[in-house]
Chain A
């Protein structure tokens, strides 16, 4: 009796694995194992630890002292922390200019232009350059008497009247933000071109027959069709500016009042090893980013729901409904 039972136990799992149901369970577990482990260990565990660390005065190694909310208070009180967020205004301004320029060149390059492929490539290529290389290129570019100054002198500026682009605190943040326009404008442009190209070309022909001007074509055909991509990029660029990091980290190393919030945080965490304070800074910024994202999503929805077109939400609901009807794309 006992023998039979254990026999059954031994056979059962194997038979179960061979059955459809067992196979289903095994593939779900097996295929989810790696991604979920990675997601939890490198995103959610750090996230949880960050919250924990933010209540301690601590370094990576050694003793920890709980300090309550002191780190959070410090984030708002310290000169170098919260005020650094004000720098992100420069990057926000830059990303708005970047979007407008990208939109302009995307509109031009979506239609027949002599050498269009070359122009598109030249504008896009900076996006593929590594951040460190961009840093060196612009350190060289902005150095006193070098590239930028030479060009400006050639068009009639006097070297003495030109500022020191990277150390003059009145202008250096603008210089840094400009480098990010240089780097990312092409990427935005390619995205916009993709969206414009997806518009049915008959629309343009019809508009031309009706005698529409280029501006009218832009306003009534192009803009509505790429609104989603533009708004998406707007959202991304605003949260991107809040977490601006690269230009100031690589080009100036955060000197001369260019240390953005993230650069300050990086220095606190990895150089001065104030891990608790850095964690608190990270949490505060993340809170702000999430708030901003949610607010933008709401505005986004508001704009879409005010339209006569089918709004995104309704479309989603419709899709869900249709899927239920058809049984969706999942197995029975």
Chain B
């Protein structure tokens, strides 16, 4: 009864629009999820099953985890996750400390070269990363930093221009009178920075941690170049090694893919809104 009443409010045109709207949404979602879902289906198939059935058939046993075990051990994933975690922790701490310190100086102090430094960072953003790696590699070699976690971490910390802009923008909105009153009370610049400003920057820090965290966890190009030894493989570069031994055994490869994607999925589900906000803020660097 009430259903009929509500329907009366919709004209035919609105019905069509609404139909098209949901149709397009479902259509795009189908294509977005299909590649991932097909991977999940295949990851649960035994080799025999994989060879005999079509991709569209569901696995017989959804608890068949043999592929995951093989992928985990052959890909040395335990080690890889440990390395990735170490890198993530240090790179996030490092790049946030570096970014906030730099933004503090550039925003709060007037000195000769302030504008020049800003422009140097701006121009650095224009240089495409892959291109510079040709010569960064030779510099890393001469510094003996190839095949060391430290070298890789330093490299990731140094190439972060976006977070610097997020911090600069954030500092603009923190009134300088706050610092000044603390300085009048006898606080040093260091106290002002670490005790007063850094806590206030928390939202910007969360934004940058998300952006930097995603890009660090997913980084593979430099990881392939600079962390070649077996012990130093990170999650993405271990996954890359799957091409060789597993060839076309996609049931193993898909299991490996899911192992690496799962952490991202968990983080995404738990802090969706923070990720969206972080992205939106990171983009308005102007």
Contact = CB atoms under 8 A, between A and B. Distances in A.
A and B bound? yes
Interface of A: 23-24, 27-28, 31-32, 34-36, 38-39, 41-47, 49-50, 53, 60, 101, 104-105, 108-109, 113-114, 117-119, 121-126, 128-133, 136-138, 140-141, 143, 145-147, 150-151, 154, 182, 186-187, 190-191, 193-195, 214, 229, 232, 239, 243, 245, 249, 262, 265-266, 269-270, 275, 278-279, 282, 285-286, 289-290, 293, 328-331
7 contacts: A50-B134, A128-B267, A130-B239, A151-B34, A278-B134, A331-B108, A331-B176
A131 B218 contact: yes
Among A130, A137, A138, A269, max chain B CB count under 10 A is at A130
B29 A119 contact: yes
Interface string B24-59: 110011011111101100100000000000111000
A95 B32 CA distance: 16
A285 B127 CA distance: 10
Contacts of A125: 32, 36, 265, 268
Given A123-B29, A147-B55, A329-B108, A130 B176 contact: no
Nearest to B36: A137
Contact of B190 (A27, A193, A275): A27
A182 B32 contact: yes
Contacts of B136: 42, 46
A273 B29 CA distance: 44
Given A146-B250, A190-B280, A270-B225, 15 more contacts: A39-B158, A43-B132, A49-B135, A104-B24, A125-B32, A130-B261, A131-B236, A133-B239, A133-B257, A137-B39, A140-B254, A150-B55, A269-B134, A282-B128, A282-B134
Which secondary structure dominates chain B's binding surface? helix
A121 B268 contact: yes
B253 interface: yes
B188 interface: yes
Contacts of B133: 269
Interface in B135-162: 135-139, 141, 154-155, 157-159
Contact of B283 (A109, A121, A147, A229): A229
Given A38-B157, A131-B218, A141-B35, A265 B134 contact: yes
Given A49-B139, A125-B268, A133-B257, A31 B104 contact: yes
A262 B28 contact: no
A105 B21 CA distance: 9
Nearest to A25: B111
Given A41-B158, A129-B264, A151-B34, A289 B109 contact: no
B125 to A, nearest CB: 10
Contacts of B240: 132
A331 B179 contact: yes
Interface residues of B, number: 96
Nearest to B285: A232
Contact of B214 (A128, A141, A275, A331): A128
Contact of A330 (B25, B101, B176): B176
Contacts of B261: 129-130, 133
- State the 6 A-B residue pairs at the shortest beta-carbon distance, nearest first: A194-B280, A38-B158, A282-B131, A130-B218, A46-B135, A31-B101
B61 to A, nearest CB: 21
A328 B107 CA distance: 9
B12 interface: no
Nearest to A151: B34
Interface string B101-124: 110110111110000010011001
B130 interface: yes
Contact of B132 (A101, A214, A282): A282
Contacts of A191: 279-280, 283
Contact of B124 (A39, A130, A270): A39
B32 A43 contact: no
A121 B260 contact: no
A190 B104 contact: no
Contacts of A129: 218, 261, 264
B159 A42 contact: yes
Given A32-B102, A105-B28, A136 B254 contact: yes
B84 to A, nearest CB: 10
Contact of B107 (A50, A60, A286, A330): A330
